Each structure stands twice: as structure tokens, then as C-alpha cells.
Amino acid sequence: MNSKKYAAELIGTFWLTFAGCGSAVLAAAFPQVGIGLLGVAFTFGLSVVTMAFAIGHISGCHLNPAVTVGLCAGGRFPGSQVIPYIVAQVIGAIAGAALLYVIASGKAGFDLAGGFASNGYGDHSPGKYSLMAGFVCEVTMTAMFLFVIMGATHGRAPAGFAPLAIGLALVMIHLVSIPVTNTSVNPARSTGPALFVGGWALQQLWLFWVAPLIGGVIGGVVYRWLSDEPAGIVEGRK
């Protein structure tokens, strides 16, 4: 049933947002034992790996509007399911951010001004990178992410390794792009924290919808052209 697919996407995106953003908000700079940028990158990657094994057989485990749109552009996902998947993903991301807020706000001195793992450019980029740099980075990273997803889930790819390849790709993406935009490549993940931060985070949120969606389409179309996969729609797995 489609309702189960939507529920799986909601739960999976909840987990990605809560765990990934939670690692940045709660653990990245924790005194003396903080996990740092490397730990945050691996947490995002592991959230995808764990959910791919858990719900990949139910919904395909997209967890990301850019992945859903990219798989559709690549001929792997039906267009009629794109909007319901995206709605479920955004709801899941908001729920994940909400739970993270409940936990994080329980610490004395908590302040949303710290960013709450929101994505940004210019003054709100961790490395003060420009709008153009952020746009190019997000498009490129998302395009390559879709390229890896399409390849790892191809019928001729080694069986059983797709979740690891995709999760490790997300780790690599974060290691490169956290300084630039705090790494989105996922409009739902960006929307959840931005709703709680408000102000600048909402004003800059457009970039983290536009750039990943463009990148997703590019990655899906390029891989579709490159591969010799038979025509027809199959549900892609993230």
C-alpha cells in the first residue's frame, strides 16, 4: 500500500534529520569528547545506511526530495508518487527537528542563534562562502549523490552493497561541503531546522531547495544516459 511507503519515508527522514542534525547540535563540540566534523559526516551517512536496510524494501528509502526527483528524472521512479513522497519527507524532517529542539533546549544556555544545524551562505556559511559558491557546491554534490545512487542500485551492480556505497557517498559529501553550506543536498533536512531558527534560515532556505533539486535532476539524467539499463520504471533505493 502506498500509505506504508509514505509512512516509511516519513520515519526515515525523521531519523536522518534527528540523528544527523542532532550530532551537529548536541555532540559536535561537546566538551573534551566532541565528535567534530568527521563525526557529523559519518552520522549523516550512517543514518542513510541504517534506514536503507530498514525500509529500502518498503519505500526505496529516498529520505530526500532531491533523490525522489532525481530518480524520477532518471526513469527509476513514477512521477505520480513524487509529490506524496516529498510531503512525507518534509513532515518527517520537521518532526525530527522538533524532537531535537525539545532535547537541545533542555540545556542551560541553549540559543537558536547558534544555527541549530541550519544551512546557509554568506555570513551564515560556516566558512563564510558566497551564495554562488554555495549554489555550485550544492548542485554538484547532489548531482554526484544521485549518480552514485543510480549506479549502486543498478541491476548489474554488486548485490547488497547499495546502502554502504550510498551512505559513504553522503559521508564524503559532508566532509567536503560542511564548511561551505553546512551541507544540505536535501531540501527536507534543510527545512526542518530552518522552521525553528526562522529569520535568516528561512530567507536562505530557497537555495537549499533549488540547488539540490537541480543537482538531483542532473545526476539522474546523466546516469540514465550513461548506463545501459533497460527502459522502464523501477523504484530506486537510497
pLDDT at res. 231: 44
Cα(148)–Cα(169) distance, rounded to whole angstroms?
7
Count of structural domains within the chain: 1
Classify residue 233: in a domain, yes or no. no
Is position 109 within any domain?
yes
97-106-20 Cα angle (round to 5)? 30
The distance from CA 95 to its chain's CA centroid, rounded to whole angstroms, is 15
The parent domain of residue 67 ranges over 3-226
Residue showing cell 546557509: 120
- Judge whether 63 and 50 are in contact, CB under 8 Å: no
Domain annotation covers residue 236: no
The per-residue pLDDT string of the chain (238 residues; one tens digit each, 9 = 90 and over) reads 799 999 999 999 999 999 999 999 999 886 667 889 999 999 999 999 999 999 999 999 999 999 999 999 999 999 999 999 999 999 999 999 999 999 999 999 899 988 899 999 999 999 999 999 999 999 999 999 999 999 999 988 888 899 999 999 999 999 999 999 999 999 999 999 999 999 999 999 999 999 999 999 999 999 999 987 644 444 434 3
Q: How confident is the model at residue 114, as a pLDDT?
A: 86
Has residue 231 been placed in a domain?
Answer: no
- The verdict on residue 83 lying in a domain is yes
E strands of 109-197, at which residues?
A: none
- CATH number of the domain that residue 44 is part of: 1.20.1080.10
Q: Is residue 235 part of a domain?
A: no
**DSSP code of 96?**
H
Q: Give the cell for residue 116.
A: 541549530
